[in-house]
Amino acid sequence: MMNLQQVARDLGRPLAQIFLRDENARRAVFGSHGLFNTDPNWRGLICSTSTFTATPGEGAAPATRRGGRG
């Protein structure tokens, strides 16, 4: 039986590989979008699908956590 740390490590490796550069300096998260993998202005950035909102009195939070659709 695995402990929680072992499970986290086993799940974390493949998830991290999605965002880390491979041997060809490409990130799997970008798929076939050449611009994000090759352009020096974009290749260091990781895009996020979360949009942050700041409603007065509610603080800043990802729209997905607040029930919004982003």
Q: What DSSP line would sit under 3-53, residue for residue?
A: -HHHHHHHHHHHHHHHHSB-TTS-BGGGTT-HHHHH-TTTTT----S--EE
pTM, two decimals, is 0.54
Query: Quick one: pLDDT at residue 70?
Result: 47
* Sequence spans of domains, the chain: 4-62
In this predicted model, what pLDDT tens digit does every residue of 8-52 receive, in sequence order? 999 998 888 988 999 988 888 888 877 888 888 888 887 766 555
Query: Quick one: pLDDT at residue 8?
Result: 93
